[in-house]
Amino acid sequence: MRPVSADAALPADPAPELIETLQARILSGHSATAVLEAWCAERGLAAEARLVARRVASPDKPLGAVRRLRLALAPDEVVRYRRVRLACGDHVLSEADNWYVPGRLTPAMNAALDETEAPFGRVVRPLEPTRRNVALRPLREPGAGQPGPADPLFAVDAVLATGAGLPFCEVAETYLGAVLGRGPWRR
């Protein structure tokens, strides 16, 4: 009987399996923030598995008619735009565009979104949000090789609603190669 090396149990490129696992967790979770913090802890990406949302200076992206419908907006209802990079330690795991209805959040939530690096999911947790996924887009060609930390892997669009069903945010999230973390295959 031939001895089996420890490396023989590892797939040559574990990225597709890890990507599928993360996609499934994101799609089934109520909060991308909570899923990414748990993922960060499991993958050992930082000493403290706590996400920060680093604001990205960029012009506002228009909401568009379809997104306005999904948010059930009144014609004069205000929507704010926020673009962030979600990081765990030194690893930028995703980039997100958030269109949210400030009138459906508390003043404290709006202040936290304006003045801190708190991720959206953590700020709105008291609303007991639910998440309805609208789209999943793979952004990586099969067999493309091991992705780099900044390489886009997949994107998810979702609508967040209160526990009572009132939509208050639409997100467009792009998950990056850094989310895969380190392993024996990434020396």
Q: Quote the domain boundaries for residue 73.
A: 13-180
Residue 45 token pair: 């990406």
Beta bridge partners, 176, equal 152
pLDDT in tens, 117-168: 999 999 999 999 999 999 999 998 877 888 999 999 999 999 999 999 999 9
Residue 9 in this model has a pLDDT that exceeds 50:
no
pLDDT category of residue 8 using cuts at 50, 70 and 90: very low
- The answer to whether residue 128 is domain-embedded is yes
- The answer to whether residue 114 is domain-embedded is yes
Separation of alpha carbons 160 and 127, rounded Å = 10
CB atoms within 10 A of CB 9: 8
Half-sphere exposure of 8 (CA within 13 A, CB side): 4
Helix (H, G, I), strand (E, B) or coil at 39: helix
Q: Which residue has the tokens 């090789």?
A: 145
- The answer to whether residue 67 is domain-embedded is yes
Give the closest residue to 149 by CA, choosing from 107, 97, 90, 68: 90
Contact 168, 127 (CB under 8 A): yes
pLDDT category of residue 5 using cuts at 50, 70 and 90: very low
CB atoms within 10 A of CB 81: 14
The CATH number assigned to the domain holding 173 equals 3.40.1410.10
> For residues 14 and 75, which has the higher predicted lDDT (pLDDT)?
75
pLDDT in tens, 17-74: 899 999 999 999 999 999 999 999 999 999 999 999 999 999 999 999 999 999 999 9
Contact 51, 87 (CB under 8 A): yes
pLDDT in tens, 88-102: 999 999 999 999 999
Residue 56 token pair: 């990205």
- The answer to whether residue 3 is domain-embedded is no
- The answer to whether residue 4 is domain-embedded is no
Q: Give the helix/strand (H/E) hosting 90.
A: none
Separation of alpha carbons 149 and 182, rounded Å = 10
- The answer to whether residue 187 is domain-embedded is no
Please state at what angle helix 32-43 crosses helix 15-28, rounded to 10 degrees: 140
- The answer to whether residue 2 is domain-embedded is no
Domain count along the chain? 1
- The answer to whether residue 66 is domain-embedded is yes
